[in-house]
Chains A and B, each alone.
Chain A
Amino acid sequence: MNSNFILISYIVSAILFILGIKRLGKVNTARQGNFLSAVGMLIAIIATLFKMDAIPLEWVIGGIALGTLIGAITAIRVAMTSMPEMVAIFNGFGGGASALVASAELFKYLNGKEVYLAELTKNNSDLTTTMITIVLSVIIGSLTFTGSFIAWGKLQGKISGQPITYPGQNIINLLILVGVIIAAYFFVMNPENMTAFYVIVGIGLLLGVLSVIPIGGADMPVVISLLNSYSGIAAAATGFVLGNQALIVSGALVGASGIFLTNIMCKGMNRSLANVLFSAFGKVDATKTSPKSAEEISIKEMSAENAAYTMQSAESVIIVPGYGMAVAQAQHEVRKLADELEKGGVNVKFAVHPVAGRMPGHMNVLLAEANISYDKLFDMDEINDDFAGTDVALIIGANDVVNPAARHDESSPIYGMPILNVDYAKTTFVLKRSMNPGFAGISNELFGYENNYMVFGDAKATVSQFVETLKEEA
C-alpha cells in the first residue's frame, strides 16, 4: 500500500494517543480516553500490516493470539489490590519487546549486509547511528524487563521488600556502567562483534536487577512509574532503529509523561528522584532509628465494639485508608461502615494521601471499586486542615503516611514527607494487625499518643464488627 497512506494512519494514531492521554486526565472522560488510545493502537497495527512486504501468517496470528490470551486472562483475573504489580509486569513485557525488536534488526543486518546498507542509504541514514540506537534500545529495554520483574517480586513479597545493599555497591554499579560503555564502543565500531553485543544484553538485564533491589518496597510505585517511562524511551529508541515515526512519537509521549508522573509522585513524598533511587530508603539502620522503638511506646487498646460506639456518637469521622486495607480486601466493608455512619447522621469523609497504597491513586481505585462516591474522597491538601475539627480519624492499614515523626523528628527516614495530620483529630483509631512497623520499616510514634487507640485484628474483620455493632444499635 501507498507509504503516504501508512504515514497518515500513524498520524491519526498519534492524535488518538494524545487525545486519549488528555481524556484519561479527567474522571468523566477517562474511560473514553482509554478507548480512543486503544483505537489508535489498532489503527497503527493494521496500517503496519499493510506496510509489510510479506505477512508470515503463522507467526503473526500465533503471536497476537498467544499475547492476547495471556494479556486478557491476567488483566481480567487480577485482583484490584495487585494492580500495581500487574502494571509492572505488562510494562516489563513492553520493554522486553523493544529489546527483542532491536536485536532482530541487528541480525537482519548480519544476514544481508549489502541489502541492509543499501536500504539505509536510501533512507538517508547510516550504520553507526543505527547501531548506537540498537545499543540504547537493547540496554533500556532489558533493564525495563528485569527491573519490572524485581519490582513485581518486591510487591508480591517474593523478594524482600527491604532494600538489599552490599558493600561497594556504588563502585560495582559504576564499574558495570563503565563496562557497558566499553562494550558499546566495541560493538558500534564493529557490529559483527557478537561478544560485545551479548555483554551489552547481559549488562542491561543485570542493571535492571541491581538498580531495583536496593530500593525499598515502599518506593516501588515510583520505580514502576519510572520503568513505565523507560519502556516508552525504549520504544522510541527502537523507533530510531527502524526509522518508524509511530514508535518514536508514542514512545516519546510515554517517556515524557512517565517522567513527569514520577516527579509528581516524588513530590508527594517530599523527596527527589535521586534520593529515591540511590539512598536505600527504609533500610533500618540501628544507629539511625528514632529513639522510641515499638517496644518503648506505651499504647492503649480499644475493642472494636467500643470504637464503634465512639464513632456513632461522633459528628464527623475521617477515614484514612492505606495498603493494609487493600491487603485485607476491606474496601467493601469500609463502604458499609460509611453508609451506616451516614445513616446515623455522622459526616464521613475519606482522606487519601498521595502515596497511600502502592501507587498514587491506588486507594481511589479500590474505594471506587467498593462504590464509594469519589466526591467523598479528599486529597491531603484539601483535607489536612479539617482534622483539627474532626472527632474521629479512623486509620485503616495506613502507617507511614500518618506518622507525625515526619514533621519533627530529623532522625526519621521519612522526615520532611508531607503527612495527613490525623493526630490533630480529637481521637484517632488505628486498625492494625499487630505492632509491626509499617512498610518503610519504621515505628510510628502516633501509636503512643494520648488520644490514640489501637484496634488490633484483621482490618476486614474489625470493620465488619463495627458495622454489626452499628446495625444492632440502630
Chain B
Amino acid sequence: MEQLIGLIFIAVLATFAGAELIGKIPPQLHTPLMSGSNAISGITIVGALLAVGASGDDKLLAILGFCAIVFGTINVVGGYLVTDRMLKMFKKKGSK
C-alpha cells in the first residue's frame, strides 16, 4: 500500500506538470509537440527490457518482451526522428 501511494503521489505531480506545460504553446507547434510527446510515451520500452531480462528460459515471456521492445523502439526512434524532421523546417527566411 505504501508503495502504491508513493507511486500515485508522483503520478499526480507529473500529471500537473504535464498539464502546466501545455497551456502556453503556439498552435504551429502543436503537431511537433504531439509527435514529440508521443515519442516520450515510448518509455514503455524500459518495461519491455525488464520483461525480457526476467524471462529466463521461458520462451513465451521472451517473445512477448521481444515484441514489446520492437514496438517500443519503433515508437521512440520513429517519434523522435519525425519530430526532428518537422522542426528542422521551422526557421526564419534567410537564417539558413
Contacts and interface: CB of A to CB of B under 8 A. Distances in A.
A158 to B, nearest CB: 20
A361 to B, nearest CB: 4
A182 interface: no
Contacts of A22: 21
Among A14, A41, A70, A94, the most chain B Cβ lie within 10 Å of the Cβ of A94
B34 A75 contact: no
A71 B92 contact: no
B35 to A, nearest CB: 5
A58 to B, nearest CB: 9
Interface stretch (A204-212, A240-248, A305-313, A390-398): A240-248
A299 interface: no
A239 B34 contact: no
A359 interface: yes
B27 A254 contact: no
Interface residues of B, number: 85
A90 B78 contact: yes
The winner among A243, A246, A248, A253 for most chain B CB atoms within 10 A is A253
A18 to B, nearest CB: 6
A365 B58 contact: no
Contacts of A245: 7, 10
A87 B90 contact: no
A310 B58 CA distance: 73
B48 to A, nearest CB: 5
Interface in B39-61: 39-56, 58, 60-61
Interface in A381-405: none
A228 interface: yes
Contacts of B30: 261, 264-265, 359-361
A365 B88 CA distance: 10
B33 to A, nearest CB: 5
A18 B68 contact: no
Contacts of B81: 71-72, 75-76
B52 A56 contact: yes
Interface of B: 1-4, 7, 10-12, 14-19, 21-56, 58, 60-62, 64-94
The 9 closest A-B pairs by CB, nearest first: A67-B73, A63-B69, A256-B18, A364-B28, A52-B53, A71-B78, A71-B77, A373-B93, A252-B14
Given A67-B74, A124-B1, 7 more contacts: A75-B78, A94-B38, A239-B7, A252-B18, A364-B29, A368-B91, A372-B93
